[in-house]
Amino acid sequence: MRFTTKSANLFMHGRSVMPDGVSSPMRAFAQVGGNPICAAWARGSKIMDVDGNVYIDFLNAFGALLLGHARDEVVEAVSRQASLGTVYGLSTALEYELAEKIVASTPSIDKIRFVCSGTEAVMTAARIARAHTGRSLLVKFGGAYHGHSDALLATPLNLGPAAVKMKGATQGVAEQLNREVLLCEYNDEDQLEALFSAHGPQIAAVLVEPFATNMGFVEPRPGFHARIRALCDRHGALLIFDEVVTGFRFNFGGVCNSLGIDPDLVTFGKIIGGGAPIGAYAGKARYMRHVAVGNRVFQSGTFAANPLTMAAGNAALDVLARPGFYEALDARGSWLEAAIRRQLAARHIPFHFSRHGALAGVAFRDSREPMRSYRDVKTQDYDVFKKVHARLLERGFLMPPSLEEPIFISAAHSLDDLTSLAEALAESIQLSRAERAAADGQPTSAV
């Protein structure tokens, strides 16, 4: 039995000075219940809480860490830079170095600018698309999360009463901003075509994650992105790939490279900062020129491209660029995949497991079919997931505290970490399903 008394006490104190005791809502564990834990330190694949419990980390700061925690090269670069100054309000060689690496990695982009978060990156990309086209509507997909800017949290124009509740729905967005977004089901090109037929001349851009990572892990159907590209071309709208999660996760650059899609604008974040706060928007010169001085679109930031983040990002990307890095990462992913499939089969658990590279997800529903849309995601058993999350935490595995996040594998995970996760996960699912069936009065054989 793990004790988390210090975490509980800290949260009690934290709640007196911060709403829910957190600076970002997921950390309150609202979706999974139970006591959230407070981190003390982390290294490699392990994270320790303030009570001294050690967990194998599959949250990895919501995917910001591809190298695990406190990687030597990154720590050294950040420490060196800290002694030279943390922010200057001036440009640095470090930021040109990082910009060159990213621009060279992804043929779709000619220019890039750094900001401090994925939120800012997507917000600015959307602003550029609207300025360039002189149109106001953005299309996004159900279950997507593109940060918390007003424009991306606005209520979609076509959100009918039957629609699944929109993710990140919020009050406080100015009324006139609402209805400037259209919502489409992920993987539903026909619906997208219908939206273009109805609103084509008003659509500035389609904003899409190449792999949907904010609803567990949902892969695009073959041809989905090519059809989006073709529709954007036909109707004069821009295609924005939100690669805040996918960028540099599967290959050195945007995953648009390996998908063979040529987006107009690409947003990055998370991994490219090496664990420090970052966002970046990038794209073709004809769109990026809008943010140059005297042009149409404004964006700035006191901490944009701060040297600490640039040092961390450069150090991380240098490790990612080493020959064999992504092959080794993919091998870890396929090891976990084999282990989870074996464990689920041995326990007769009919859940689907999806994986691409180092990103994976288990669909908590009795179906061999992969999830394709947010509607599918909502058919999962959130109650069983809650129990599984608590069981895994107790056994020393930190999983994302939401069924709508993927499992984040890092280069720091050992094969033992992955094998033990597979065993613990399948066993926790089996026990939680049995518990649930018993509560519902079903025979245990039904699980």
Q: Which of 49, 57, 145, 186 is catalytic?
A: 145
d(CA 445, CA 310): 55
At its nearest, how many Å lie between ligand PLP and the CB of residue 268? 10
**382 catalytically annotated:** no
C-beta closer to ligand PLP: residue 399 or 418: 399
At its nearest, how many Å lie between ligand PLP and the CB of residue 402? 11
352-356 vs 54-57, strand pairing mode: unpaired
Percentages (nearest 5) of helix, strand, coil residues in the chain:
45, 15, 40
How is the beta sheet containing 203-208 ordered, strand by strand?
A: 111-115, 279-283, 265-269, 238-242, 203-208, 137-141, 181-184
At its nearest, how many Å lie between ligand PLP and the CB of residue 287? 18
At its nearest, how many Å lie between ligand PLP and the CB of residue 212? 9
Q: Which of 49, 57, 188, 242 is catalytic?
A: 242
Residue ranges in 106-200 assigned as alpha helix (H) = 118-133, 150-153, 189-199
d(CA 400, CA 402): 6
C-beta closer to ligand PLP: residue 113 or 391: 113
Q: 23: number of CA atoms within 13 Å, CB side? A: 1
**Burial environment of residue 232 by CB neighbours within 10 A (0 to 12, 13 to 18, 19 or more):** buried
Determine contact, residues 349/426, Cβ cutoff 8 Å.
yes
At its nearest, how many Å lie between ligand PLP and the CB of residue 140? 11
The residue of the chain with the least Cβ separation from ligand PLP equals 118
C-beta closer to ligand PLP: residue 145 or 364: 145
Determine contact, residues 312/74, Cβ cutoff 8 Å.
yes
C-beta closer to ligand PLP: residue 337 or 405: 405
Determine contact, residues 336/406, Cβ cutoff 8 Å.
no
User: Token pair of 356, please?
Assistant: 């691409």
Residues that bind ligand PLP in the complex, under the rule CB under 6 A: 62, 117-119, 122, 145-147, 209, 214, 242, 244-245, 269, 279
Instruction: Taking the CA atoms of 227, 230, 235 and 239 in sequence, report the sign of the dihedral they define.
Output: positive
**262 catalytically annotated:** no
At its nearest, how many Å lie between ligand PLP and the CB of residue 126? 11
Residue 387's H or E segment, with its range, is: helix 382-394
Q: Which of 46, 140, 270, 387 is catalytic?
A: 270
Residue 397's H or E segment, with its range, is: strand 397-398
**326 catalytically annotated:** no
Q: How far apart are the first and last CA of the chain?
A: 26
> Residue 405's closest CA among 192, 173, 143, 18?
143
C-beta closer to ligand PLP: residue 130 or 249: 249
At its nearest, how many Å lie between ligand PLP and the CB of residue 244? 4
- Active-site residue numbers? 145, 242, 270
